[in-house]
Each structure stands twice: as C-alpha cells, then as structure tokens.
C-alpha cells in the first residue's frame, strides 16, 4: 500500500478512511512538526497531508522523491508552492465548501462580538467588576454599534464571501462587494452591489475580508485603505493575516480612525503583539474560523476522498493545480 504521512492528528474519520487504502503515519504531537522531522518523514512518503502552517516548498519536494500528492487540510493553500508542485507532477488538493458555512458563521461571530463589545462585557461580568460597581444597569455602559440595517462590504466574493452575504440579508443590510471578477448571478440572488475597492471601504459600516493570500492581496488593506474607512466602521479579517498591514491597522485603531477590528488571522501565527492585544476595541481569535465538529470532519473526509480518488487513477475532486494532469497521470506507481 502507498504511504501517507499526516502532519497533525486530523479527525479520526479521515484517518480511518485512509487506513483502508494507505499505510498511514500521523505526527502525534500537539506541537508543530519540526522542519527537520518533516523533511525526514517525507523521504518515504507517496502522499502527504499538510496543515496551513507548514511551508511546502522546493526543499520539501527535493526530500520527497516518491511524493505524488499533497492534500492540504485547509481551503487556503498559500503555504504550498503550487507552481513548483505542478512542474514536478505533484498533485495539490484543498478542502473547499465543507468549511464555508462554519467560516462565514465565524466572520459573523467576530462582527457581532466586536460591534457589541462582547469580550469586554464578558470580562466585566466574570471578573466581578459589575458586582463591585453595585449598579444593575446604566444607559451609557458598553455602547456599541448598530448592525441591523447597516452596510456590509465584503472583499473577495467567493464561497465564504457569498456565505457571509447570505447571512447579512437576515440582518437587513445593504450588501456591497469587491472581487477580482464580477458575479452577476450572486448579485441578483443576494441583492449585492459591486463596488470598486475604495468606494466599498468608504461606504461600509463593516468590512469583511474573504480573499485568498496571493501576491496581489498581500497588504491589500494598508494605511491608505484604512483612512478611507469610516471612523465608526469595523474591520473583520477571516482571510489571512498578511492581507492586512498590521502596523497600519494598530495605528488606525489607536488613533480612532476606525472603530474596531475582529481578527481570526495574523501576519505570523502563533501571534503575540502587546500593542494590538492591549487595545479594547479588538476581538481576537487564534485562527479558528473552520473550527466546528462538522467542518473539521468534513475536511478530514475530503482529504481522504482526494487521496483515495487519486490512488484509483482518477482526478481528485478538489484538485488545485489542474495543469498537473498534463505532467503526470493520477495514481501511484506500483512499488
């Protein structure tokens, strides 16, 4: 049986499926797999299951003479040098769709929690400060921003961006979006308006980032863009940390040039930034957008289905690098 190495303990349903078709080895520890261990483990691997935190590049491929497929346990694949993989005839797959709703729900979790200062309020309650104050209710406490009926601007109108818009309809919002290409069908279905980026930024009360990280989207939101946003607006980032210039964001938050930010992703992960973390008007999550039981099991199943389909000589269902088919047919050589 071909060998698959899995760099972190994914949900058991995926591992069980894979065991029927592969010799499976899993990096069992909770910490990140050390680079040298990864480079050692791939030596013998026909297939690799990777996390978004592992850089899968030329060096990994150089160490992996038998490697034919990399299945990323994530929809984003900015951690993988896809061009290099294609050149070498290595298939790359990701996990779209199965995590769309969970991630869109989480964008909304951040949006609402930031707008209504939920974390500050929770700290106030559980720390005993409320009780110490001895006042049951105050008309000027914890004032936040209205959400219902406001304007949301979604940057990157793909699977997750559109799912965020779907939810915004229930909140009676005006929906603006900016994306690389216009989406006439989604515009109709979701009652969304296309806007150039600058207009979207200046008109929105909530700006949600849902683009992939690419050369074009790196620091797409910087000082200039933050200046275009309203002083009462909130930025939500569930895309990738590097889409935002963090230094510029911290400055804008400190100076009150925007009202707040809800972040799930950071320029480096794990992340710590005293200046940012010291601010009250931010809600910070440790990259948990897809962290539901359902989404994570769906991702594990999809990873397994991609590998099993490939093993059967067929094109995996969520192949990222379509051109690889011209370089090598799907399937493992007999060993």
Nearer to ligand NAP, 64 or 249 (CB): 249
What part of residues 130-169 is at the interface with ligand NAP (CB under 6 A)? 156-161
CB of 58 to ligand NAP, least distance (A): 22
From ligand NAP, ligand GLV, none, which one binds at residue 305 (CB under 5 to 8 Å depending on kind)?
none
* CA-wise closest residue to 320 among 97, 99, 72: 72
Q: Are 290 and 299 in contact (CB under 8 A)?
A: yes
Encoded one letter per residue, x for contact with ligand NAP by CB under 6 A and - for no contact, window 74-103 reads: -xx-------------------x--xx--x
Q: Is 243 in the site for ligand GLV (CB under 6 A)?
A: no
The question of whether 287 is a catalytic residue gets the answer yes
- Going 265 to 266 to 271 to 277, the CA torsion angle's sign is negative
How many whole angstroms separate alpha carbon 255 and alpha carbon 223?
Answer: 12
Other C-beta atoms closer than 10 Å to the C-beta of 135 total 9
CB of 158 to ligand NAP, least distance (A): 2
Q: Is 264 in the site for ligand NAP (CB under 6 A)?
A: yes
From ligand NAP, ligand GLV, none, which one binds at residue 298 (CB under 5 to 8 Å depending on kind)?
none
Q: 209: which strand partners?
A: 155, 237
What part of residues 50-79 is at the interface with ligand GLV (CB under 6 A)? 52, 74-76
Nearer to ligand GLV, 99 or 168 (CB): 99
Beta strands across the sheet bearing 260-263:
192-194, 174-178, 151-155, 206-209, 234-237, 260-263, 282-284
Q: Which residues of 70-98 are buried (b: 16+ CB within 10 A; e: fewer)?
A: bbbbbbbbbbbbbeebbebbbbbbbbbbb
The question of whether 269 is a catalytic residue gets the answer yes
* CA-wise closest residue to 249 among 271, 219, 288: 219
Structure tokens at 292: 């539901």
Q: Is 99 in the site for ligand GLV (CB under 6 A)?
A: yes
Return the range that interacts with ligand NAP (CB under 6 A); candidates 80-88, 176-184, 200-208, 313-321: 176-184
If you count DSSP H runs as helices and E runs as strands, how many of each does the chain have, helices first? Answer: 15, 12
Could you say which of 68, 240, 296, 305 is catalytic?
A: 240
Residues that bind ligand GLV (CB under 6 A): 52, 74-76, 99, 289-290
Which residues are annotated as catalytic? 240, 269, 287
Residues that bind ligand NAP (CB under 6 A): 75-76, 96, 99-100, 103, 156-161, 179-181, 210-214, 216-217, 238-240, 264-265, 287, 289-290
């Amino acid at each position: 049986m071909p060998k698959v190495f899995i760099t972190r303990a994914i949900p058991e349903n995926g591992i069980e499926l894979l065991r029927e078709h592969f010799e499976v080895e899993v990096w069992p520890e909770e910490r990140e797999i050390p680079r040298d261990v990864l480079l050692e483990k791939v030596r013998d691997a026909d297939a690799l299951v990777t996390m978004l935190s592992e850089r899968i590049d030329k060096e990994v491929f150089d160490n992996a003479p038998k490697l034919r497929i990399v299945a990323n346990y994530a929809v984003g694949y900015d951690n993988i040098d896809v061009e290099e993989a294609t050149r070498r005839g290595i298939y790359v797959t990701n996990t779209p769709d199965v995590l769309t709703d969970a991630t869109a729900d989480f964008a909304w979790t951040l949006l609402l929690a930031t707008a209504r200062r939920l974390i500050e309020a929770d700290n106030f309650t559980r720390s005993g400060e409320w009780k110490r104050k001895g006042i049951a209710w105050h008309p000027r406490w914890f004032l936040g921003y209205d959400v219902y009926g406001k304007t949301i601007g979604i940057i990157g109108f793909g699977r997750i961006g559109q799912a965020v818009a779907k939810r915004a309809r229930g909140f009676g919002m005006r929906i603006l979006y900016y994306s690389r290409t216009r989406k006439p069908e989604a515009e109709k279905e979701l009652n969304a308006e296309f806007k150039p980026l600058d207009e979207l930024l200046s008109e929105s009360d909530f700006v949600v980032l849902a683009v992939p990280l690419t050369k074009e989207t790196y620091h797409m939101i910087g000082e200039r863009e933050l200046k275009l946003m309203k002083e009462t607006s909130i930025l939500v980032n569930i895309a990738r940390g590097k889409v935002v210039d963090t230094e510029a964001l911290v400055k804008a938050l400190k100076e009150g040039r925007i009202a707040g930010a809800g972040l799930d992703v950071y320029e480096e992960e794990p992340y710590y930034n005293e200046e940012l973390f010291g601010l009250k008007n931010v809600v910070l999550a440790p990259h948990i957008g897809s962290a539901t039981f359902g989404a994570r099991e769906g991702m594990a199943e999809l990873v397994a289905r991609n590998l099993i389909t490939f093993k059967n000589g067929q094109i995996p269902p969520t192949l990222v690098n379509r051109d690889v088919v011209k370089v090598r047919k799907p399937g493992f050589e007999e060993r």
